[in-house]
Amino acid sequence: MKVEELYQEIILDHYRSKHHSGLREPYQAEVQHVNPTCGDEVRLRVHLVGDTVSDVSYESVGCSISQASTSVMADLVIGHDVAHGLGLYEEFLTMMQGKGQIEPNEERLEDGIAFAGVAKFPARVKCALIGWSAFRDAIIQARAQ
Amino acid sequence: MSLDGGPEYPVTTDLSDVAPGSLALVEEPIAFDVEAIRADFPILERTVGGTPLIYLDSANSSQKPRVVVEAVEDHYLNHNANVARAMHMLGAEATEAFEGARAQLAQFIGAHRSEEVVFTKNASEALNLCAYTLGASLRPGDEIVISVMEHHSNIVPWQLLAQRTGAVLRWFDVTDEGRLDLDKAVAEGLLNERTKIVSIAYVSNVLGTINPISQIAALGHAVGATVVVDASQAVPQLAVNMADLGADLVAFTGHKMVGPTGIGVLWGRYELLAALPPFLGGGEMIEVVTMAGSTYAPPPHRFEAGTPPIAQAVGLSAAAQYLSVIGMNQITAHEREITGYALEGLQSLPGVTVLGPNELVDRGGAVSFTLTAADQQPIHPHDVSHLLDSRGIAVRAGHHCARPLHERFGVQSSTRASFYLYTTRAEIDALIESLDYTIAFFGRLR
Ligand SMILES: Cc1ncc(COP(=O)(O)O)c(C=O)c1O
């Protein structure tokens, strides 16, 4: 796969205008994740109402892959229940660790399937995962309260 | 050197009457021929997807010429044993090779005596050694001065030291052009009677700026401070002469100067080294050990606990010899020419902003920059480097272990191209063409 094919229109669209970006109140947990190799940083908040993820808000800097992936994640998890979000995290993680061999489920991952190609570039997998890992971490913290 | 009844360590060479850099080997400079030099570096023949590899990441780690690899190989295959404590033929050979490497390095950097050369594992360890040993005499309220352009290796050890001792960490700012802001420092009274340590990079690994070390050393000494220099990016590309530099302690690293990984150097004024306490404890660094206490070996061995990087020292010695034969002045001149050519090329591209000096004055061979597409949208360095990599061009993306400096320039990260004695103009042309492609690629898709 050529690198150019990695940069699908969907990814660049999300990079250009990140959905749900910005830090908002209220929130139950806030986490900060960084990738010290390339300097990507995300600060992310979650707010739960019962079992529902009522908001995910974030401030982040980084490459197109990390920014777009965080934006797609927020689209997918907000308004759904926690179990659904964590399930998507697992699916996305499996896709990323699949070295490009795993056929993603478009119905569930929606725009997230645009990142299937990233799995073929080990150096970029971390970029695609940073927002998702922050989300999972924040959920764990919010539920611990 | 003899082992029977001789001292445990061989007597090291007194270099006081050998002119620095005047290796016995070098008779007259050979003409600088980049193609001939490239032939010494087998890795440069590699291709990436059918196109030649273009390695523009030498400030990160340089490539190695065959002679360095062969020196390491020959040592392991024919002379390997532990040093100093092995009383047999191979032990003597290994010791002689190790101490010979020390003498070679001392000569390469213009040290007065080879005992002024301490082998460490890298520049980071050398700087930690400085912080630890100098820190022993710090008191709360004492001040340590660094700069905002330092590599994390010359920031974090001092932060740790300040935390341990209650000393205060202060720093030089840089001008928008990427030079140390000496005027502001004077206005702020940055250096004053509380300043005990000044530690500054000789050449910035991000901006390429060459700092006025002699001037800073004089300012530091005027207030009674000890002056430490991080010369990791300087020794590979400039003829550095410790006797003239004016610093007290100077750190650098083997792998950036065509030498092996796993070895670095701390040079120190002998009287200062002799006054410093040990750093790590262990074998080799002692005189007498009793359960009640120990006495320590004189420098340099006091600072070399445990089995040192022996084969790496042999490799580093071969590296210093290799650079000397080519001539540090010729390497500096080549690097300057290539850097000038790259700056010109970069400035011809719309959307490129160079961090640091745009002109060749006091500037080394690392150029960091940011890119924006035609729609003013920034193109992230990680995306740039990935696209370049796919075209066979190796650059570095990120904050290059200098996050505070990036913050100072208001950018999160940058792309860095860095050059060395084997870099060609054709490689710079390829870089510029690929950056042009990158700008167009991200612009078009938007
Ligand atoms: C200016 C500077 N200082 C220190 C270092 C650290 O060198 P090392 O990683 O070999 O300890 C580097 C290189 O990474 C550098 O560029």
Other Cβ atoms less than 10 A from the Cβ of A22: the count is 9
Q: Kindly state the average pLDDT of the residues B333-340.
A: 96
**Ligand 1 in reach of B133 Cβ (< 6 A):** no
Catalytic residue numbers of B read 401
Supply the Cα-derived Rg of chain B in whole angstroms.
Answer: 23
Q: How far is CA A56 from the centre of its chain?
A: 11
Instruction: Give the H/E segment covering residue B268.
Output: strand B264-268
Residues in a beta bridge with B56: none
CA of B188 to the centre of ligand 1 (A): 29
What is the count of structural domains for chain A? 1
- Residue pLDDT, tens place only, B146-156: 999 999 999 99
Structural domain containing residue A125: 3-144
Other Cβ atoms less than 10 A from the Cβ of B295: the count is 9
- Residue pLDDT, tens place only, B135-146: 999 999 999 999
- Residue pLDDT, tens place only, B351-385: 999 999 988 889 999 999 999 998 888 999 999 99
Give the one of B383, B389, B390 whose C-beta lies nearest to A63's C-beta: B383
A9 interface with B at CB cutoff 8 Å: yes
Give the one of B386, B398, B445 whose C-beta lies nearest to A3's C-beta: B386
Within 8 A of A61 by CB-CB distance, chain B residues are: 412
Percentage of chain B surpassing pLDDT 90?
Answer: 85
Distance in Å, alpha carbon of B60 to nearest chain A alpha carbon: 13
**Ligand 1 in reach of B57 Cβ (< 6 A):** no
φ, ψ of residue B27 in degrees (nearest 5): -95, -60
For β-strands B286-290 and B352-355, DSSP reports them as unpaired
Q: What is the pLDDT of residue B437?
A: 95
Q: Which atom of ligand 1 is nearest to the CA of B204?
A: 1
Residue in chain B closest to A8 (alpha carbons) equals B445
- Residue pLDDT, tens place only, A16-44: 899 999 999 999 999 999 988 777 899 99
A10 interface with B at CB cutoff 8 Å: no
Q: What is the pLDDT of residue B445?
A: 52
Domain B89-324 maps to which CATH number in 3.30.1490.190, 3.40.640.10, 3.30.70.141, 3.40.50.2300? Answer: 3.40.640.10
What is B328-445's CATH topology? Answer: Aspartate Aminotransferase, domain 1 (3.90.1150)
Write the single-letter amino acid at B277: P
Q: What is the pLDDT of residue B85?
A: 75
Say which DSSP state B349 is in.
S
| pLDDT band at B70; cut points 50, 70, 90 | very high
CA of B397 to the centre of ligand 1 (A): 16
Residue A7 maps to which CATH number?
3.90.1010.10
- Residue pLDDT, tens place only, B86-105: 789 999 999 999 999 999 99
Q: What is the pLDDT of residue A38?
A: 77
Tell me whether residues A63 and B412 touch, CB distance under 8 A: no
- Give the 3-state secondary structure of residue B157: helix
Find out whether B62 and B258 touch, Cβ atoms under 8 Å.
Answer: yes
- Residue pLDDT, tens place only, B20-47: 444 445 455 678 999 999 999 999 999 9
**How many whole angstroms separate alpha carbon A6 and alpha carbon A124?**
10
State the pTM of this model. 0.91
CA of B153 to the centre of ligand 1 (A): 6
Residues in a beta bridge with B170: B145
Q: Which parts of chain A sit beneath pLDDT 70?
A: none
- Residue pLDDT, tens place only, B226-248: 999 999 999 999 999 999 999 99
A1 interface with B at CB cutoff 8 Å: no
Q: What is the pLDDT of residue B13?
A: 46
φ, ψ of residue B151 in degrees (nearest 5): -70, 150
Q: Is the pLDDT of residue B283 over 90?
A: no
